[in-house]
Amino acid sequence: MQKRTAVWITIIVIVLVVGMLGYAIVSGLRAITAPVTDLRDDIGTQVARILHPTPTIIPDPVTIVREVRSLARLETIHYSVEKIIEAETGQGPFGFLFGDRLLLVAHGSVIAGVDMEKIDLDSIWFDDLGSVYIVLPEAEVFVATLDNDKSYIYDREKGFFTRGDVNLETAARQAAEAEILRAALEDNILDQASINAENYLYSFLRALGFSDVVFTDEANRPSPAPSATATQQPTTAP
């Protein structure tokens, strides 16, 4: 019994010693290879920076203001549109050698409304019952532009012997703006902008105390009252 106990104790001691030696060897190897691993990671980081450099933006400190103009626009509708634009050049039998193709996911905004600056004194008149009549100008698109934060190139394929067309993405973004505007117009954004403008002005003018607000067109505009000099009959000398 004592011999068995001594054997087990010897085995346990040997296992502990071997484990300690193994831990020491592994720790030593890690300490030796750590500089190599760090160097490899650092080289990988430097290569990634070369292949995918971070752009440096340096704005010109000089700012030139071309024009400052006051606006009186009533924006009544805002469209958010997404379009997929495919642009390509150099396609054909040798497209895989010299072609360039990209897929642009374009997000844009279209804002329309009524320019209140176009309303003159002859566009508003009143009747004896306290009603106001208004000839609103036609609705128009104020803004049709891309959202650069949400628009991105989903895919781009270049031929083996080309670095790509530098103007292809610009052309795709210009086409995307045109398509976003066309989609909004086809969805009758101007009609809805006019309706929203009328609803807003109706509530606003009624809140000011007018008994009724009537939106009409140019055909119903009243003729200006003749002046006294225009109605005065010429007199002839005796």
Report if residue 102 sits inside a domain. Answer: no
Report if residue 23 sits inside a domain. Answer: yes
Does residue 180 share a domain with residue 142? yes
- DSSP alpha helix (H) spans, 52-151: 95-98
Residue 227 has pLDDT above 50, yes or no: no
Does residue 217 share a domain with residue 113? yes
Residue 110 has pLDDT above 50, yes or no: yes
Residue 200: which residues within 8 A CB-CB, separation 6 or more?
74, 76
Per-residue model confidence as pLDDT tens digits over 116-136: 999 888 889 888 888 899 999
Distance between CA 50 and CA 112 in Å, rounded? 45
Does residue 139 share a domain with residue 27? no
Residue 78 has pLDDT above 90, yes or no: yes
Helix (H, G, I), strand (E, B) or coil at 133: strand
pLDDT, residue 235, reads: 45
Does residue 28 share a domain with residue 77? no
Copy the structure tokens of residue 154: 């989903």
Query: Which residues constitute the domain of residue 216?
Result: 73-85+107-156+164-222
The tally of domains found in the chain comes to: 2
Residue 191: which residues within 8 A CB-CB, separation 6 or more?
139
pTM of the model: 0.66
Per-residue model confidence as pLDDT tens digits over 155-208: 988 888 778 788 898 999 999 999 999 999 999 999 999 999 999 999 999 998
